[in-house]
Structure 1
Amino acid sequence: MSEVVCVTGASGCIGSWVVHLLLLRGYTVHATVQNLKNEKEINHLESLEGAKERLRLFQMDLLDYESIVAAISGCAGVFHLASPNNVDEVQDPQKELLDPAVKGTVNVLTAAKEIGVGRVVVTSSISAIMPSPNWPADKVKNEECWTDEEYCRQNGLWYTLSKTLAEKAAWEFAKEKGLDVVVVNPGTALGPFFCPTINASMLMFLRLLQGCADPYENLFMGCAHFKNVALAHILVYENKSARGRHLCVEAITHYGDFASKVAELYPEYNVPRFPRDTQPGLLRAKNAAKKLIDLGLEFIPMEQIIKDSVDCLKSKGFIS
């Protein structure tokens, strides 16, 4: 009998990678989607290797507790990835982003505690680490750094705020209720993806190739390959010594560094040039994800991430 785990938000770019790697490792996976009748959500999951034997799909709503319990029942572990993400303008931040992120996280953890799950891996983000304008200027940002909530509210960074509040709620719950929670904080996740739809970070990359000059000033800290992000989740789940937050970036870089590497590799695209420092005050660092490196994660370098991303966008018809 293989270990049974639940992956929420399984149909997304990172979620389907987590499911893929879990199935390859012999796990039985309860994968949650928003709508079982939507082929765009389920077809790519059902075609993964091992899916016929060990994948079960569940329709889940983050604000419907019973649907969460049904998906987690019988599971030894949970990977909680489901969280609304909206890169464009938000009309009602509370309803669109904050409630589903925060209440949804608490609902998943409550169900996990009730069912007796061993460990929950929560997908947070670098959005819960920065913007952090009060962090010491001479210190490289790490897992101790938290996003400034007030700054987010004043600047309308609602997605960033939703990820920060959701992660804080997860830690509070873990402490109060004695649930074993561990967190991954991925940077901009890129690379090849299984799902037919594009996620926010790949959309950002696509727009860069198309000439978008937004420097993503408060939203970029470095990138990571989808495979590395998924593997990070599994490593912190399987290594019982893993504790706390885990920054997941191949290096801390500026968006300007990233864009110039893309322009250098693909001169045929209309990639804008940025000043070198697009992230004011952010110190660059090579092995910033030391906690994950110590667990054995070997990061795919930026150049390969870019090439894999372009190849995938071409193969799926997003660019020619």
Structure 2
Amino acid sequence: MMNKLNEQPDETGTDNNQHSDRRILHPVRSRNDWPRIAPEGEAMRRIAVVDTETTGLAVEHHQIIELCMAVVLVNDAGRIAAVEVVRSGLVDPGHPLTAEIAELTGLTDQDLAGRSIDEEQVAEMLASCDGVVAYNAAFDRPFVEKMIDRHVPVPWGCAMADMPWRKLGFESGPQGYLLNQAGYYMPSAHRAKDDVLALIQLLDHVCADGETVMAKTLAAMDAPAWRFEAQGAPYGYKDDLREQRYRWAWGRLHDVWHKHVRAEAYQAELDWYVSTIGKDPVIVPLPASERYRFHTTWTQA
């Protein structure tokens, strides 16, 4: 049966407290702890916050079994002024879940039997927003675009890759670990709605420099970036490229090592490439509407 994404019920929660010499962790705020309407007269950006649960890690072979999407309103200071809606839905993958995925998500084959999500509704929600944020956008975006079978040209930001966590005094790691360092804990995890509410909480956290995680993520989304492609690099340089965190893309008109490069790293990356490989890379502008897509869907350089 075809199901629309459903508004999610409430759970209890409390706001975070200030840092002290003894850290108290508070539960992530529930859906009903967030306003649904932003104050009038303030400029707001509509941002979709997305999380997926899937049958596995490889988008070529696996698929979404649960999707949650919240639409939040963000003011000029980067604070989340309202959470308009939180919707989620389940998808029957057409085969039994592995024991690992069932244990990880808490979902069963019975939970998923006959379930589906209206892909048009998902695409319309994405298109209605000024941007999308996921904790690991390079994972979630390819699965979402596979499910809806189209590219919605909306900017995407990544709360993991776009954030200078270490510079802000955090030890980087999974979303739940960062959330703990911000003073919160997830009452449950690895269900999409729980992860979205936890990400909203983390995005609204004010860092030591006075800016929120959301403000920093959106600033990175708005900033220019490029894809450096090692087209024509001799095979013998593959280990150098791998150590420099280039990734291998296959299945396009040509196979290629590539790297997402931000403005602050541009010159250093170019200098490294020229001194190591001996020539310039192919440099492709990478607007946020193209970032974190699966490599077989890139625009050809």
**TM-score, length-scaled by structure 1:** 0.26
Higher-Rg structure is 2
**Which structure has more strand as a fraction of its residues?**
2
Hey, which of these two has a bigger chunk of helix by percent? 1
Q: TM-score, normalised by structure 2?
A: 0.27
